[in-house]
C-alpha cells in the first residue's frame, strides 16, 4: 500500500509536533525557523506554516522579539479542553451506540489488544495516546456525525500533550484507563448507552483532574 503523500509543511509539522510531545522541545523552548529549516533541509516557508498549525493546536505561540516558542502546560486550558471533550464525546457516543455493528466491536477490541502490546514493548507513551484516540474514534464513528468527529479530533490534538504528560507521571493512570476502556466497550455491546455515557464522562473528567493534580504538584514540561 502506497503511503499517503505529504507536503513539506505536513512533514515539518509532524516532526516538530512529535518532538514537542516527547519533550525534546520543552515548554518555553524557542523554535528557531532558520535552524529547523536547515536541519530538515527545507525552506523557511513550510517551517513557518508548520509552526502556525502547531499554534492552532496550542503547542506553540509566537512572542514579540522571540518568535515561536513551545507553550507552557496550562491548568485553565486543561479544564476547558476536557470539559469540551466530555460534553461532545458523550453526546456523540449516545447517538452511536444503537448504530454500532459487530465490525465496530471487533475493531475496538483489536485496539484494546494493541494497548497491551504497547505496554509490553515499552513504547506506551509513544503509542498509547494514538491508540486512545483510535479506540474512542472507532466507537463514535457509528454516529454518522462527521462534523462532530472532526471537532473531537481537533480537541484531541490539543489534549494529546496533556495525555502524554499524564502517562509520564501518573503511575496508575494507564491501568485505570484500560479497565475503563474494556468496561465502556462491554456497555456498548450490551446497548446500555446511558451507562456508557456516564462512564465516558467520568473517564474523561478524571483524566483532566489527574493532569491538573500533577501540574499543581510542580511538574510542567
For residue 29, how many C-alpha atoms fall within 13 Å in the half-sphere facing its CB?
Answer: 14
**How do residues 32-55 score in pLDDT, each as one tens digit?**
999 999 999 999 999 999 999 999
> 113 and 52 in one domain?
no
Give how far the C-alpha of residue 163 lies from the chain's centroid of Cα atoms, to the nearest Å. 6
Report d(CA 6, CA 199) in Å as an integer: 38
pLDDT classification of 121: cutoffs 50, 70, 90: low
pTM over 0.95: no
109 and 213 in a common domain? yes
Q: What is the pLDDT of residues 61-86, one digit of tens each?
A: 999 888 999 988 888 888 899 999 99
CATH no. for residue 41?
1.10.10.10
Domain containing 113 equals 75-219
Which cell goes with 124? 506506551
Position 112 confidence tier, pLDDT thresholds 50, 70, 90: very high
Residue 123's pLDDT is 52
Query: What's the rounded mean pLDDT across residues 2-28?
Result: 84
Mark whether 98 and 202 lie in a shared domain.
Answer: yes
Q: Is residue 3 assigned to a domain? A: no
DSSP string, 159-204: HHHHHHHHHHH-TTHHHHHHHHHHHHHHHHHTT-HHHHHHHHHHHH
CA distance 85 to 219: 23
What's the number of CA atoms in the CB half-sphere (13 Å) around residue 126?
Answer: 9
Domain membership of residue 1 (yes or no) is no
Closest CA to 47 of 62, 34, 28: 34
Amino acid at each position: 500500500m502506497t503511503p499517503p503523500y505529504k507536503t513539506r509543511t505536513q512533514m515539518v509539522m509532524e516532526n516538530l509536533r512529535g518532538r514537542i510531545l516527547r519533550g525534546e522541545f520543552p515548554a518555553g523552548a524557542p523554535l528557531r525557523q532558520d535552524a529547523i529549516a536547515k536541519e530538515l533541509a527545507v525552506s523557511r516557508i513550510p517551517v513557518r506554516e508548520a509552526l502556525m498549525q502547531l499554534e492552532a493546536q496550542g503547542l506553540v505561540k509566537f512572542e514579540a522579539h522571540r518568535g515561536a516558542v513551545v507553550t507552557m502546560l496550562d491548568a485553565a486550558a486543561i479544564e476547558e479542553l476536557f470539559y469540551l471533550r466530555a460534553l461532545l464525546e458523550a453526546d456523540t457516543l449516545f447517538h452511536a451506540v444503537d448504530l454500532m455493528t459487530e465490525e465496530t466491536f471487533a475493531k475496538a477490541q483489536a485496539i484494546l489488544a494493541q494497548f497491551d502490546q504497547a505496554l509490553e514493548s515499552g513504547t506506551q507513551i509513544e503509542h498509547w495516546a494514538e491508540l486512545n484516540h483510535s479506540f474512542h474514534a472507532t466507537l463514535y464513528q457509528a454516529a454518522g456525525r462527521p462534523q462532530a468527529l472532526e471537532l473531537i479530533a481537533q480537541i484531541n490534538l490539543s489534549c494529546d500533550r496533556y495525555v502524554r504528560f499524564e502517562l509520564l507521571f501518573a503511575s496508575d493512570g494507564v491501568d485505570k484507563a484500560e479497565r475503563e476502556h474494556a468496561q465502556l466497550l462491554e456497555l456498548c455491546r450490551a446497548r446500555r448507552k446511558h451507562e456508557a455515557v456516564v462512564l465516558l464522562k467520568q473517564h474523561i473528567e478524571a483524566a483532566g483532574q489527574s493532569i491538573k493534580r500533577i501540574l499543581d504538584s510542580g511538574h510542567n514540561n
